Amino acid sequence: MGQSADLSAALEFVVTRIDEQSVRSGEPLTDEQRGLLNNLPKSSDVPQIVTGDFESPPILIPRDTNYEKLIALARSAHSEDRERSPASRDWEFAISVLKLNRHPMNWLLQWAGVKQPRPWWDGWLLIAAAIVFAAITMTLILFTDGTAARRLALCGTGYFVLILISYLASRKIEERQLEQNIEACRASSRFADPSISQIRVIQ
């Protein structure tokens, strides 16, 4: 499947599971909740509390009850699927595709506790990047000639360039990781079926 078909399949899976979970809970989605689920906002107005744990999404302060219900249903559906079929990678596929496409559904899944697994070397890569950053910074400080103002300007420019390169490199690495994870999940999930290509919009 192509990227567009992957996105449609991931959305169909998540939307369908949330709808099924709402019916199972005895409180089917209202028209307003259905509309929100199929047209999630591209930015969040929900206040957040940063926990300091970069692996976990920010903690939400409940304000939008409809959005909070969708999060709770997604969390419940994910937990139930994990218990019923621990080897399934359907949710992993979905969040990887949604994150790669920067779709708002990705936020909902993160707040619901659905995590994208990271490779074992991810932490070591971060440490290596920090060492390189520190080494280049020290080089700029120690071996730059000229006045203090000139050295400060060069160091500032160096910082900016390093940060820009680090940002672009991290984005590229993350995209590559997501693409590899999607391919790995496809082989062991329902999404290997190319006929799954259209999102089923809840009526």
Structure tokens at 1: 């499947």
Q: What is the pLDDT of residues 112-122, one digit of tens each?
A: 988 877 665 56
pLDDT band with cut points at 50, 70 and 90 for residue 59? low
Report the mean per-residue pLDDT for the chain. Answer: 76
Domain boundaries, the chain: 3-117+185-192
pLDDT given at position 160: 77
pLDDT given at position 69: 93
Amino acid at 176: R
What gap in Å lies between CA 179 and CA 163, rounded to an integer? 24
- Looking at per-residue pLDDT, the higher value among 175 and 17 belongs to 17
pLDDT given at position 199: 38
pLDDT given at position 46: 47
Its pTM stands at 0.64
Q: Is the pLDDT reported for residue 190 higher than 80?
A: no
Amino acid at 2: G
- Looking at per-residue pLDDT, the higher value among 57 and 103 belongs to 103
pLDDT band with cut points at 50, 70 and 90 for residue 47? very low
* DSSP labels, 69-90: HHHHHHHHHHHHHHHH-TT--H
Q: Is the pLDDT reported for residue 49 higher than 70?
A: no
CB–CB of 91/184 below 8 Å? no
Tell me the pairing of strands 48-49 and 59-60: antiparallel
pLDDT band with cut points at 50, 70 and 90 for residue 43? low
* DSSP labels, 90-107: HHHHHHHHHHHTT-THHH
Q: How many residues comprise the chain?
A: 203
Instruction: Write the DSSP symbol of residue 30.
Output: P
Q: Is the pLDDT reported for residue 93 higher than 70?
A: yes
